[in-house]
Amino acid sequence: MKIFKNTIVQTSAIAMLLLCFGCGKKEEKLPAEVKTETTQKPEHESNIKEVELNEAQYNASEIVLGTFTPKNLSEVINANGYTKLPPQNQADVSVFVSGIVKTIAIIEGQKVKKGQLIATVESPEFTRMQEQYLTSKSNLEFLKLEYERQRILSEEEVNSKKIFQKTKSEYEIEKSRFNSLKHQLQTLNINTGATPSSTVPVLAPISGFITEVNIKIGSNVEAGKPLLSIVDNSQLHVDLLVYEKDLHKVKTGQNVRFVLTNQDNSEISGKIFSVGKAFENETKSVAVHADIANDKQQLIPGMYVNALIDVGANTVNALPVDAIVKAEGREFVFILENIDEEDSAKDKNVKIKTYHFQRIEIKTGTAQLGFVQASVLQEIPADAKIVLKGAYYIQSHLLKSEGGGGHEH
């Protein structure tokens, strides 16, 4: 009996062990777990997406392609200021003698060159001045001959020196009067060799643009009163206010940059040529003067600007802010992957282009004046064409394609 009982106990224990072993083996081979391991994608592949645009879509989106731009975005000083025009590039046009406006040859906003006719003024005074000039010229010729004759007689002691001195004095007086009248006529832009006229031309003293016209036909003009104004904006500079804490970092020769937000974010560059030596208007700021490039006449005097003064040389790869799109809590740019060309179904001689863009994840840093530091998180070709403008348009097509069953790489 005892032996039989031990046998039953051993048999039961072996059965329990086999059951447990079998259960453990089944759990290791669950089909669900095997499926999960074989279908999981690498994490970086989910970030790579492609968008396809036809030629019409590409042209309509006004996409601009480019690459990274080296920018100094960290070692800079922010400064506010305004554009200013030197006094030698501004002119008020006036006349030296009162008269009546006879003709006007310009309109406000017109570009003129130095010496160009802008108006004519009529006055009887101009005729009198020319008559006086011609009379003085005739008298001077006579007195010069008399002076030479008396000089010779005086040297030969035929006449007294008193007569010679009187003749010399009259000659010198008339010579001074003649030169004065000649200078007055030249100042009035009157040709001294022409026939006397009551009308004189008014010429532009500098090249530039007409900003104000204060006259009309028949207007009575007074001596020294401005008829119109001319400005030459090509020599425009900026006055920037730098606070005391940053003043020791600013030096002549440093570069200045600012963006025209109302003119397609175009960037203007310049260079500091002078640093003020006194505080401006009881503020703890000093005026810093910088020459700027204004060849395209984009700027006018008095414009407010927000500028960056480069005080270091730490440049980084930067992109325009418009090149970066945000999605899924991350930041991306698009690069042009390739362009396909196919024959048109209607005309075999016409090629239809298809543009393929790939979305690449990036990491951004410091942002200044419409540019932001950008680093790609995966390797791209050195000559990759990045979408600088139109990225949000491409992103919208990506979202549409995903909503409609678009493909993903």
Section 325-344 average pLDDT: 88
> Which segment of 310-314, 352-356, 390-394 scores lowest on mean pLDDT?
310-314
Backbone phi, psi, residue 102, to 5° = -95, -45
Residues in the chain, overall count: 409
Q: Which contacts of 168-172 are long-range, i.e. CB under 8 A and separated by 24 or more positions? A: 170/143, 171/140, 171/143, 171/144, 171/146, 171/147
More confidently predicted of 92 and 19: 92
> Quick one: which of 79, 72, 74, 83 has its CA closest to 250?
79
pTM for the structure as a whole = 0.56
Section 288-299 average pLDDT: 79
Tokens of 73: 């975005």
Residue-averaged pLDDT of the chain: 81
Tokens of 238: 């900026």
In whole angstroms, give the CA distance from residue 52 to residue 356: 5
**CA angle, corner 121, sides to 117 and 122, nearest 5?**
140
* Residue 255: CA count within 13 A, CB half-sphere: 13
Section 347-369 average pLDDT: 85
pLDDT at residue 40, as a whole number? 44
CA 280 to chain centroid: 26
Amino acid at 321: V
- Burial class from Cβ neighbours inside 10 Å (0-12, 13-18, 19+) for residue 409 reads exposed
Q: Which domains does the chain have, with CATH numbers?
A: 46-69+316-403 (2.40.420.20), 76-85+236-310 (2.40.30.170), 90-231 (2.40.50.100)
